[in-house]
Amino acid sequence: MADIQVYKKSPAEFELGRKRAKSAMRNQIMMFSLMIFLTLISFTMVTAFEVGVEGFTKFFIIPTLLLFAAVQIALQLYYFMHMNEKGHGVPQMFMFTGALLAFTVVLTFSTIVWW
């Protein structure tokens, strides 16, 4: 069996850990609420388009929905996949490089097909 060492935290370390955990939980709840709000706005916009509310055309709704989706993807990667914590520099680099390459490939093939 492995030896287990118990480390007793000082009151200052314990309090600092509590404050960090409380701040992290507050950020998680705020981001979750923001994503729910963006989702509700998206559904409302699509419903307004389907009903025929003036001003809600497909030329307004589609780019706005794509923008909301991009914001939600970024927030989910950053907060819910813990990319905002220390030590995640290399995975962030690989993910952002992959996203940039994927966007470039899609843009390239779209340009080739359209022109």
CA 43 to chain centre: 19
The average confidence (pLDDT) of the chain is 89
Report pLDDT digits (tens) over 31-55: 999 999 999 999 999 999 999 999 8
Count Cα atoms within 13 angstroms, Cβ side, for 114: 6
Report pLDDT digits (tens) over 81-107: 777 778 888 888 898 899 899 999 999
Give residue 106's pLDDT: 94
Q: How far apart are the first and last CA of the chain?
A: 68
pTM of the model as a whole? 0.70
When pLDDT is cut at 50, 70 and 90, the band that residue 108 belongs to is very high
